[in-house]
Structure 1
Amino acid sequence: MRGVANTLQQQGLDSAALFGEVGLSIKDLDDPDFRWPTEEISRLWTLAAERSGNPDIGLFDPHLPRPDQYGLVGYVMMSSPDLLTGLTRFIRYICLVSDALTATLEPGDGGRWVKLDLFGGECPIPRQRYDYAVLNLLTFCRWMLGRPLTPEAACFAHAVPASTAAYNDAFGSPLQFEAKFNGLLISSKDLASKLPTAIPELADVHDRLAGEALRKLITTDTAHRARQVIARHLHDGSPLRATIAAELNMSDHTLQRRLADEGTAFTDVVEDTRRELAQHYLADRRITIADIAYMLGYSDQSTFFRASHRWFGESPGEYRSRVQEGHQQEIEAARKR
């Protein structure tokens, strides 16, 4: 978030004022353990694009490396022997940087896809936020390699922008919009490249420090970990607490106790997970309501409709239309400015 604030400031915007307008305090940048609400971050990017008049603000200064963006995770990555190991560690420890971002490495044509997925909560994720996240990872990889790195391809889930010039400049690779995911295809050759930043003597130290930080986070956020596992099991129906506990490497009783210590219960975590995923899926018109009901683990659409009325006070279709209408109004307001 400090990098976001700096990016906005470099665009001639008053970062502190923008943070305040969306209910954030820039003073929280001084607290390394502060967790920024994802909905407000999305609103911040939307407001920044509107005030700057630059819809490509997330791609600002695309050739400027930002090696300080990932904190401890950045040190773990740069001390790795090669790029593939660095990216693998990035994925392992990403929750130390953001609990709204997940990343995966998946096989691709001639290399591997690095896929990024952001959780936006009730607010649709503006393209500027994904632009920034994808480019930030690429520039850090370029910095670690100490040379240019051109992806084999760059994919974005959002619609084709009015101009792709900024994307061509930033990525220099084939582009795909309205894709099923956001991410980069990196060649096997580049993944195998040795990192000049590698320091074998420090690699184990950095890995141990990151591991300790991860364990500390895990022991204080069982509900967050449970939500991630529940999300993977929902398509099979309502998950059993014992099943989730086993995947979290703890007993059913321990999971129940830890959730109680955090002021919640397993049924509430399942409900919250379904609601959050429903918001994410309904913001994407490419996913049918029937498919969403299935992915949330409901046996029929009527059960999903009742849940939607419980969460949002309206049907899934009505919620989708309202969110899309609000997003369109934001776009039109930005164009007028």
Structure 2
Amino acid sequence: MSERTTSSSWARGIVEALALDGVDCRQLFDELGMDYAALDDPEARFPQDGMTRLWQRALEISGNPAIGLNMARVVRPSSFSVVGYSLMSSRTLREGLARLVRYQRIIAEGADLSLRAEPDCYVLRLAIHGDRLPPATQSAEASLAYMLAFCRWVAGPSVQPLQVRLQGPAPTELTRYREVFGAPLQFASQEYALVFPRDVLERPLPTANEALAQLHDRFAGEYLARFSDSRVSHMARQVLCRLLPQGEPKREVVAQALHLSQRTLQRRLQEEGSSFQGLLEDTRRELALQYLAQPERSLLEIAYLLGFADPSNFFRAFRRWFDCTPGEYRARL
């Protein structure tokens, strides 16, 4: 299966953020088998599991569970690759964040963004998916902190969320979270999200430039088309994540969602070294780890969220994947 990757521009931002806590990333890159010099190559990409291990080691070295929030201190458009400049030249923050959603995979394939309009607000939702390793909490917090800091950098410090939603329990020390987000915090949430007042996202941006926006759209679109050409597995995985809570998805339903025939879907997956059944299994496995890390979810609920009609099938599958029961795995966490 094609492994998810992270752009060198986002990886460099992470390295700069970790350095603020004294973490020597050059040494860690060697330790993790990643090429530190590739950070200077705008076309380079790093395996997501490698970046997850980087966050894990940085947490061990620094002892700072809020180290991801350092990303708010290294804001610059280039960390978002061409997407950052596209966002800056948009007419409004709403339009810019819509571009960020559209081109997110250029920055990092492991993150899925959505922007939804509600009666009195906009909700920018973030989902982080791992490859073989469950994603690091610090990675998700870094993404939210950076997105909000970037919005303030572009539109001014008056950008004030109505709420910041974070998965996982509230930490004992909240000072850094309050400093970075400056908004009401909701921990143990079912999602990572920034909730914005409608008027904040709809006011004109001082950096708006329609001609530049179209130019950056062209660059981003060309990059994404080139990059996405053989990534059907990633798009199919997104569809699976959306459909699983409704029951085990059928191949024909996923193919229809991707505007492909079943035969074409299977062929494209085979070309990427995968299969529909293998992708379904891998998606369930990685989601299981994410859900088990959320203590408010019961094992029964997790079984249904993974599309298992019979919870006993979930228990059998989990034992096959990890050689332990879901309850035993959660106890280790």
TM over 0.5: yes
1:97 is aligned, of 79, 90, 107, to: 107
Distance 1:247 1:279, change over 3 A: same
1:311 is aligned, of 289, 298, 321, to: 321
CA contact 1:218–1:225 (8 Å) conserved in 2 = no
Aligned residue number for residue 3 of structure 2: none
CA contact 1:278–1:292 (8 Å) conserved in 2 = yes
Aligned residue number for residue 175 of structure 1: 185
Displacement of 1:305: 1.6
The number of equivalent residue pairs is 323
User: 1:63 & 1:314 partners in 2: Cα distance?
Assistant: 41
Q: CA RMSD for the aligned pairs?
A: 2.1
Displacement of 1:3: 0.3
Displacement of 1:57: 2.2
Letter in 1 for 2:168: H
Describe the SS at the equivalent of 2:208: coil
Displacement of 1:109: 7.0
User: 2:36 & 2:221 partners in 1: Cα distance?
Assistant: 28
Describe the SS at the equivalent of 1:60: helix
Structure 1 segments unaligned to the other structure (5+ residues): 325-337
Counterparts in 2 of 1:1-337, with a 5 A limit? 1-60=11-70, 62=72, 65-107=75-117, 110-121=120-131, 123-322=133-332, 324=333
Displacement of 1:117: 1.6
Displacement of 1:64: 5.3
Structure 2 segments unaligned to the other structure (5+ residues): 1-10
User: 2:162 & 2:130 partners in 1: Cα distance?
Assistant: 28
Displacement of 1:227: 1.0
User: 1:127 & 1:66 partners in 2: Cα distance?
Assistant: 22
Describe the SS at the equivalent of 1:184: strand
- What TM-score, normalized to structure 2? 0.89
Distance 1:218 1:94, change over 3 A: same
Describe the SS at the equivalent of 1:230: helix
- What TM-score, normalized to structure 1? 0.88
User: 2:33 & 2:298 partners in 1: Cα distance?
Assistant: 33
User: 1:158 & 1:239 partners in 2: Cα distance?
Assistant: 28
Identity in percent: 40
CA contact 2:133–2:286 (8 Å) conserved in 1 = no
Deviations 1:290-336 (A, max 9, x none): 112111211201211221122112222222223x0xxxxxxxxxxxx
Deviations 1:42-72 (A, max 9, x none): 3322332332343332223745532221001
Displacement of 1:140: 0.9
Distance 1:188 1:42, change over 3 A: same
Letter in 2 for 1:301: P
Displacement of 1:215: 2.1
